[in-house]
Each structure stands twice: as structure tokens, then as C-alpha cells.
């Protein structure tokens, strides 16, 4: 059946969201016709402002309202332990564990089949961060930086982890100063961190090598 244009247009947008099929999209849009005008306007203006009111944290590249995100600004956390993850949603999942280090969000994985190379994810900024940290710990013989590779266990996650390991070694960081670990087995193969339950995540973190 033919819907009014505005309804068709909205349905098309909802259909583009992950996990929303055309039936669900129709249901959502018709459901929204029951919202009071004020709420619909607020919803619309929030969607419009979504990218204007967020940015990538200048340090860890997580989504943030400020130039530096809350995690990077938190002085009680260990800023010399960097958990490298694929997406901001991984941070949300890992924040449910008792992890007290910081993060680096790659915003993707190296995937040649989809034409995503090392320059398309936030790797250069990770190296820059390490350079700064290594400079900081230089005069403290007991301190080191730990990079925990927590990309998921699928093929792209594994190859990206390998790439990062090689990259850090190629850059010539001393192995005792920049220590690289990989989040332990315990994450389902090919399963995203985002979907793993809290216990699985905590165990995987504890068993990093």
C-alpha cells in the first residue's frame, strides 16, 4: 500500500538501521504517530544534533562530548595500560568489568577485502600516544606501558592484532618498556566483545598473555 511520502521517507531511514527490517520500520514509524508533538520535535532535533554534539576524544578516539573524554580525564585510572578495541561499543561493554586502564578505539579493523587498510583506522594516533608515554616513563626504570590488544577473535581481529604488534616492534619501542599482550581466549571465535557477557569479558581480560 502507498503511504504518505513523509511516512515512506521515515520508514526508509529506519530500515537502514542495523537489525531493523521493513516490517519493524513500518511499526516504529506508525507508533511514533502516537507521540505528542513536543516529543517528536525533541527526537528530531536530537537526531539532527547527534554529530554536532559529539566528537572523537583527542587522545583515545572514543566518542565524547568534550575534546578529552571522561575516561581519559580520569586521573584515578592507569594511563599506562591501553586496551586497543575495535569500536566505541566495545568500550561500553568493557566498562562493565573492573578494568581501570584506558582505551584506544580503532574504529574498524584492517580488512583488505573491504578495502580497509592500516591508514583507515586510528593506528597512527596509537603510535603517537605510545611515543609520548615512552618519553614520560623514560626516567623511571620500573615503569612500563602495556598495550592490550582486544580486537575480536575473528579473522580481521586477529590479523589486525598481528599488524599492531609488528607495527609497534618496527617502531623500535623497547620490549620491556612497551609490553604487548593479547586479550585471552574466552571470547567466542568471531564473536564481538559487544555481545560477550561481563564474566566472559573479565575472564578474557585476566587471562591476557
Which residue ranges make up the site for Zn ion (CB under 5 A)? 57, 59-60, 62, 69, 72
State the nearest-atom distance from the C-beta of 101 to Zn ion, in Å.
12
Q: In the complex, what is the shortest distance from the CB of residue 98 to Zn ion, in angstroms, rounded to a whole number? A: 19
| Burial (Cβ within 10 Å: 0-12, 13-18, ≥19) of residue 167 | middle
Rounded to the nearest whole angstrom, what is the least distance from the CB of residue 52 to Zn ion in the complex? 19
Cβ proximity of 123 and 106 under 8 Å: yes
> Three-class SS of residue 147?
strand
- Minimum CB distance to Zn ion, residue 68 (Å): 6
Total number of residues shown for the chain: 209
Q: Which is nearer to Zn ion, 91 or 161 (CB)?
A: 91
Identify the DSSP state of 194. G
Return the number of the residue (60 or 161) whose C-beta is nearest Zn ion. 60
Shortest distance, position 102 Cβ to Zn ion, whole Å: 7
- Please identify, using beta-carbon distances, which residue of 11 and 72 lies nearer to Zn ion: 72
Q: Which is nearer to Zn ion, 29 or 147 (CB)?
A: 147
**Calpha distance 67→54 (Å, rounded):** 9
Tell me the H-state helices in the chain: 5-15, 22-32, 37-49, 70-73, 88-94, 124-137, 155-170, 198-206
From the CA atom positions of the chain, what is the Rg in Å?
21
By beta-carbon proximity to Zn ion, the closer residue of 63 and 167 is 63
Amino acid at each position: 500500500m502507498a503511504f504518505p511520502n513523509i511516512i515512506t521517507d521515515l520508514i526508509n531511514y529506519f530500515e537502514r538501521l542495523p537489525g531493523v527490517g521493513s516490517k519493524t520500520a513500518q511499526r516504529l514509524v506508525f507508533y511514533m504517530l502516537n507521540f505528542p508533538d513536543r516529543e517528536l520535535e525533541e527526537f528530531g532535533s536530537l537526531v539532527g544534533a547527534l554529530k554536532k554534539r559529539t566528537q572523537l576524544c583527542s587522545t583515545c578516539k572514543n566518542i565524547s562530548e568534550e575534546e578529552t573524554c571522561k575516561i581519559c580525564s580520569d586521573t584515578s585510572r592507569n594511563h599506562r595500560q591501553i586496551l586497543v578495541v575495535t569500536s566505541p561499543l566495545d568500550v561500553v561493554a568493557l566498562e562493565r568489568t573492573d578494568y581501570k586502564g584506558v582505551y584506544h578505539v580503532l574504529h574498524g579493523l584492517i580488512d583488505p577485502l573491504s578495502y580497509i587498510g592500516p591508514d583507515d583506522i586510528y593506528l597512527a594516533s596509537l603510535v603517537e600516544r605510545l611515543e609520548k608515554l615512552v618519553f614520560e616513563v623514560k626516567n623511571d626504570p620500573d615503569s612500563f606501558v602495556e598495550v592490550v590488544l582486544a580486537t575480536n577473535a575473528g579473522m580481521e581481529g586477529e590479523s589486525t592484532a598481528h599488524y599492531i604488534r609488528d607495527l609497534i616492534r618496527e617502531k623500535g619501542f623497547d620490549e620491556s618498556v612497551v609490553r604487548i599482550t593479547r586479550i585471552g581466549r574466552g571470547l567466542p571465535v568471531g564473536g564481538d566483545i559487544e555481545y560477550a557477557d561481563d564474566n566472559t569479558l573479565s575472564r578474557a581480560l585476566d587471562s591476557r598473555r
